[in-house]
């Protein structure tokens, strides 16, 4: 299989190839042929001395500008056509700066023919390049999976990079991984081929960390405040309106009793004179027949709805049927009665008391409209 690994200089291509592909291949006992300047001693100390026989480092010729490099001919691959490991796997080739060995428009014809037949030899090939637009089109079309590396220095995170796996060299991304540069692997290879020692690159300047930006801090503060508001609303004690309505209804059913502090005098101690007569209590005025806007029609509770509003306040809505002579004329709510000037007291789901000033008062319940027929009886 031919795979690709692409990214800008310093994006982590070599790191990704060494740690994610070369290291596991050596653990499987596969032979590695590469022009990447690997540190054989480091691999030997980690995996054992047997990996020395599995690693073949060739001269990349990266700085021989204009000349032919290794991996630019089919013979560079075919010389290893007979090697197999215990699992029957062939050699794994890692071609760094593949655009130098297989440039656009001038790649050897025999090499392209070999690449099209490489699976017959059990070979696997990984092509590393800055951009596959520099690689020959026929070679590029044979790439199965392509790994795009992007360093997160633009976010101020020089220690991180992103790997996007695509189908071929297209930008049809299949999956994305975020990885960290681990210093313990830096000794496994040499990135700067024209330097005898390690090189410390310039750090990204004038780029804040993601957690240092004011937008991130503001989002965290807003989230914390929203969470506190939600917790406060959930922990707030809500009044039990249903219990209050039941208590009112019970007080209406029971007659008023004398307070314990008041004492009643026995009848034997009361003296009545012959000329004094017991006074009759004044009969309360009947307010059920007073004048009001809905005079001449009957009201019946047809249903109710209750819920909590956004502020956590309990609300209850009663639906009334307006009827005359057993026929329902319309439906209104307690809000409509309030707009007409009525005072509506909701006692329970099916009990309400409405009043209109001092002239009208009536109890409304969940009953059905009825036809009332009045007949005059003739006296004999």
Q: How far apart are alpha carbons 240 and 184 in whole angstroms?
A: 65
For residue 125, count CB atoms less than 10 angstroms from its CB and return exposed for 0-12, middle for 13-18, buried for 19 or more: buried
Mean pLDDT of 4-18: 92
> If you compute the radius of gyration of the chain from its CA atoms, what whole number of angstroms results?
46
pLDDT single digits (tens) 21-43: 999 999 999 999 999 999 999 99
Q: Are residues 173 and 295 in the same domain?
A: no
- pLDDT reading at 219 higher than 80: yes
Q: How far apart are alpha carbons 54 and 112 in whole angstroms?
A: 26
State residue 192's pLDDT score: 58
DSSP conformational letter for 86: T
Of the pLDDT bands very low, low, confident and very high (cuts 50, 70, 90), residue 377 is very low
% of the chain residues with pLDDT over 70: 77
The contacts of residue 353 (CB under 8 Å, 6+ apart) are: 344, 345, 347, 361, 362, 363, 364
- Name the residue with higher pLDDT: 17 or 276: 17
Q: Are residues 182 and 300 in the same domain?
A: no
Q: Supply 31's token pair.
A: 């032979």
Of the pLDDT bands very low, low, confident and very high (cuts 50, 70, 90), residue 15 is very high
Q: How far apart are alpha carbons 165 and 155 in whole angstroms?
A: 21
Angle, CA of 309, 315 and 316, to the nearest 5°:
140
- Name the residue with higher pLDDT: 202 or 65: 65
Q: Supply 147's token pair.
A: 């790994």
Phi first, then psi, for residue 332 (nearest 5°) are: -135, 170
State residue 313's pLDDT score: 83
81 inside domain: yes
State residue 175's pLDDT score: 93
Which residue is listed with tokens 């040499």?
190
Mean pLDDT of 225-234: 86
180 inside domain: yes
Q: Give the DSSP letter string of 291-356.
A: --TTTTSEEEEEEEEEEE-TTS-EEEEEEEEEEETTEEEEEEEHHHHHHTT-EEEEEETTEEEEEE
Report whether 151 contacts 15 (CB < 8 A): no
Phi first, then psi, for residue 49 (nearest 5°) are: -70, -20
Q: Are residues 178 and 299 in the same domain?
A: no
26 inside domain: yes
User: How many residues does the structure list for the chain?
Assistant: 380
State residue 273's pLDDT score: 47
% of the chain residues with pLDDT over 90: 45
Q: How far apart are alpha carbons 125 and 146 in whole angstroms?
A: 12
CA–centroid distance for 71 within its chain: 48
248 inside domain: no
Q: How far apart are alpha carbons 109 and 121 in whole angstroms?
A: 18
In terms of C-beta distances under 8 Å and separation of at least 24 residues, what long-range contacts does 308-312 make, across chains too? 308/238, 312/233, 312/236, 312/238
Domain boundary, last residue among 148, 180, 212? 212
Q: Supply 80's token pair.
A: 């290893």
Q: Are residues 166 and 299 in the same domain?
A: no
pLDDT single digits (tens) 126-161: 999 999 999 999 999 999 999 999 998 877 778 899
Q: How far apart are alpha carbons 211 and 195 in whole angstroms?
A: 36
119 inside domain: yes
- Name the residue with higher pLDDT: 48 or 294: 48
pLDDT single digits (tens) 305-345: 888 877 878 888 889 999 988 888 889 998 898 888 899 98
Domain of 125: which CATH number? 3.40.50.300
Q: Are residues 187 and 336 in the same domain?
A: no
Q: Are residues 27 and 168 in the same domain?
A: yes
pLDDT single digits (tens) 191-218: 755 555 544 555 544 555 556 667 877 8
DSSP conformational letter for 140: H
Of the pLDDT bands very low, low, confident and very high (cuts 50, 70, 90), residue 304 is confident
State residue 9's pLDDT score: 87
Domain boundary, last residue among 147, 180, 212? 212
For the chain, strand residue ranges (E) read 2-7, 32-34, 55-57, 92-95, 124-129, 145-151, 160-167, 173-180, 298-308, 314-324, 327-333, 343-348, 351-356, 360-365
Domain boundary, last residue among 212, 244, 259? 212
Mean pLDDT of 347-356: 88
State residue 274's pLDDT score: 46
Q: Are residues 12 and 161 in the same domain?
A: yes
User: In what helix (H) or strand (E) does residue 249 lie, and over which residues does it extend?
Assistant: helix 241-253
380 inside domain: no
- pLDDT reading at 241 higher than 70: no
State residue 205's pLDDT score: 47
Number of independent structural domains in the chain: 2
Structural domain of 63: 2-192+208-212
246 inside domain: no
State residue 134's pLDDT score: 92
Q: Are residues 292 and 185 in the same domain?
A: no
Q: How far apart are alpha carbons 329 and 83 in whole angstroms?
A: 97
State residue 379's pLDDT score: 36
Whole-model pTM: value is 0.54
Closest C-alpha to 13, from 34, 42, 40, 44:
34
241 inside domain: no
State residue 49's pLDDT score: 95
In this structure, the strands spanning 160-167 and 145-151 are: antiparallel
Q: How far apart are alpha carbons 103 and 138 in whole angstroms?
A: 11
């Amino acid at each position: 299989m031919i795979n690709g690994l692409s990214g800008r200089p310093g994006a982590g291509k070599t790191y990704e190839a060494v740690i994610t592909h070369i290291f596991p291949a050596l653990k499987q006992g596969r032979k590695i042929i590469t022009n990447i300047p690997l540190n054989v001693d480091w691999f030997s100390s980690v995996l054992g001395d047997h990996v020395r026989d599995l690693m073949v480092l060739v001269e990349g010729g990266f700085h021989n500008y204009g000349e032919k490099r290794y991996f630019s001919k089919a013979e560079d691959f075919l010389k290893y056509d007979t090697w197999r490991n215990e699992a029957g796997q062939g050699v794994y080739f890692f071609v760094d700066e593949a655009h130098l060995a297989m440039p656009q428009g001038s790649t050897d014809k025999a090499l392209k023919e070999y690449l099209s037949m490489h699976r017959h030899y059990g070979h696997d090939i990984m092509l590393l390049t800055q951009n596959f637009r520099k690689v020959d089109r026929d070679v590029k079309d044979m790439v199965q999976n392509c790994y795009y590396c992007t360093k997160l220095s633009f976010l101020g995170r020089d220690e991180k990079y992103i790997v996007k796996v695509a189908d071929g060299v297209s930008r049809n991304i299949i999956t994305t991984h975020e990885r960290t540069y681990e210093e313990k692997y830096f000794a496994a290879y040499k990135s700067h081929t024209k330097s005898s020692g390690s090189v410390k690159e310039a750090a990204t300047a004038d780029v804040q960390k993601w957690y240092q930006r004011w937008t991130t801090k503001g989002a965290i503060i807003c989230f914390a405040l929203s969470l506190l508001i939600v917790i406060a609303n959930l922990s707030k004690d809500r009044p039990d309106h249903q219990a209050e309505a039941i208590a009112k209804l019970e007080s209406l059913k029971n007659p008023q009793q004398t307070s314990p502090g008041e004492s009643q005098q026995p009848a034997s101690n009361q003296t009545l004179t012959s000329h004094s007569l017991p006074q009759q209590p004044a009969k309360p005025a009947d307010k059920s027949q007073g004048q009001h806007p809905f005079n001449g029609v009957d009201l019946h509770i047809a249903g109710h709805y209750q819920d909590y509003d956004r502020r956590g306040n309990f609300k209850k809505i009663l639906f009334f049927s307006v009827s005359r002579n057993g026929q329902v004329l319309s439906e209104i709510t307690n809000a409509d009665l309030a707009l007409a000037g009525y005072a509506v007291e909701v006692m329970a789901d099916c009990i309400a008391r409405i009043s209109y000033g001092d002239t009208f008062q009536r109890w409304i319940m969940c009953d059905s409209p009825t036809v009332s027929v009045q007949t005059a009886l003739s006296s004999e």
